[in-house]
Amino acid sequence: MTADEKVRLIARAADSKKARDSVVLDLRGLTLMTDYFFICSGTSSTHIRTLADAIVEAMKHAGMGGIRVEGYEGAAWVLMDYGDVVAHVMAPEQRDYYALETFWTDAPRILTDALLEPSPETD
């Protein structure tokens, strides 16, 4: 599965559970650690866990299991590392404090609405 396919699947899974303020940062050429960050917010610890569960389940269903998940118990910032895509599900307070979007100001943003549309190569 390509990084583009992964980030599309992650965005769809999060959207299916009403993720807030989703954004994708294209980090290709800016860092060697990953190609994309998917970042979204949840409204409560329960919502954050629900979003993380939806992402993990969708990725497992696509054959992308066995990833590292950090922060699930605390549910203020859950990080799911899929290698070339890292998903961050954050409480609004954590997102404001750590300001990943501000830190990566050189990273182009991808409109998540475009990722939610059907694509011929994955649908």
Mean residue pLDDT of the chain comes to: 92
Within 8 A by CB and 6+ apart from 2, the residues are: none
CB atoms within 10 A of CB 99: 11
Q: What are the tens digits of pLDDT across the range 69-119?
A: 999 999 999 999 999 999 999 999 999 999 999 999 899 998 777 677 765
What structural domains and CATH numbers belong to the chain?
3-105 (3.30.460.10)
Instruction: Of 1-5, 34-38, 66-70, 93-97, give the lowest mean pLDDT range.
Output: 66-70
pLDDT band at 34 (very low <50, low <70, confident <90, very high): very high
